């Protein structure tokens, strides 16, 4: 638990909250950003790939920036794939993390963890593209029809930060909707598995409220 020591001097660290938060360590970017965001909220977390540590955590965060097929290959090689689907505590997938929790992704045509029975598909520009729409969907956009404990009602219509070229259509597990070219799932939830396409760790105070809601589950 060296990580806890590193941040023991962090001001505002919540010592009264003894829950153990683990961020899954794998070959993806932005893991440090998630830890920084938790620290700003007064929580500490451990970054780990140790199955024992992950299994015993109170909360697990599965972040991700990267490419789907190479990342899935890594998860299979390290057996993190089997571990993640077997988890019983609240799990939060972020961005690529969310996409990998679906059944398959068009990015590298790869089958994924199949926690959510949804395919990840690539955005297609509208014919003519008169509005000059760009891919990736990059920047701040709104979430609506929120329906999950991740979101309180006050988050309806708020802006969060996105960077992605692939998306999940609306379906049974949709927990929030965003419009970009089409209405699609900007968050998913099924049982103990929560996921956001956007980056709560980069979404200002709105993102902090969403992370807080997850940590209070």
Query: Does 114 engage in binding with other proteins (CB under 8 A)?
Result: no
Question: Is 199 annotated in the active site?
Answer: yes
Q: Quote the least distance from Cβ 1 to other proteins, whole Å.
A: 20
201 annotated active-site: yes
| Residue 217 binds other proteins (CB under 8 A) | no
**Cβ atoms of residues 27 and 80 within 8 Å:** no
Q: Does 33 bind other proteins (CB under 8 A)?
A: yes
Assign 109 to helix, strand or coil: coil
Residues β-bridged to residue 136: none
Instruction: Report CA 79 to chain centroid distance, whole Å.
Output: 20
The beta strand positions in 147-201, using DSSP E, are: 159-164, 166-168, 174-180, 182-190, 193-196
H or E segment at 24?
strand 21-24
- Minimal distance, residue 160 CB to other proteins, in Å: 9
| Stretch near other proteins under the rule CB under 8 A, chosen from 13-21, 37-45, 82-90, 111-119 | 37-45
CA 84, CA 193: separation in Å to the nearest integer? 10
Q: What is the C-alpha separation between 114 and 200, in angstroms, rounded?
A: 23
Q: Which of 95, 118, 137, 164 is catalytic?
A: 95
One of 27, 103, 141, 192 touching other proteins (CB under 8 A): 141
Whether residue 102 lies in the annotated active site = no
What residues are annotated to the active site?
Answer: 95, 199, 201
Footprint on this chain of other proteins (rule: CB under 8 A): 29-30, 32-33, 36-37, 39-40, 65-67, 125, 132, 134-142, 159, 161, 163, 179-180, 199, 201-205, 207-208
């Amino acid at each position: 638990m060296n990580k806890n020591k590193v941040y023991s001097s962090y001001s505002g660290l919540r010592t009264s909250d003894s829950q153990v938060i683990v961020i899954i360590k794998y070959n993806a970017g932005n893991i440090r950003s998630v830890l920084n965001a938790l620290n700003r909220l007064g929580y500490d977390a451990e970054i780990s790939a140790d199955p024992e540590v992950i299994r015993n955590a109170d909360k697990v965060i599965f972040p991700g920036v990267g490419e789907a097929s190479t990342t899935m290959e890594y998860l299979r090689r390290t057996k993190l794939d089997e571990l993640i689907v077997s988890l019983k505590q609240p799990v939060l997938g972020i961005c690529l993390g969310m996409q990998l929790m679906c059944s398959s992704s068009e990015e590298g045509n790869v089958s994924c963890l199949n926690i959510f029975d949804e395919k990840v598909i690539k955005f297609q520009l509208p014919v003519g593209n008169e509005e000059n729409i760009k891919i990736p969907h990059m920047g701040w956009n709104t979430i609506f029809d929120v329906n999950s404990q991740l979101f309180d009602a006050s988050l309806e219509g708020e802006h969060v930060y996105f960077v992605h070229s692939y998306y999940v259509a609306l379906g049974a597990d949709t927990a929030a909707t965003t419009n970009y070219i089409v209405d699609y799932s900007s968050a998913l939830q099924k049982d103990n598995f929560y996921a956001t396409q956007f980056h709560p760790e980069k979404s200002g105070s709105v993102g902090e409220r969403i992370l807080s809601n997850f940590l209070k589950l």
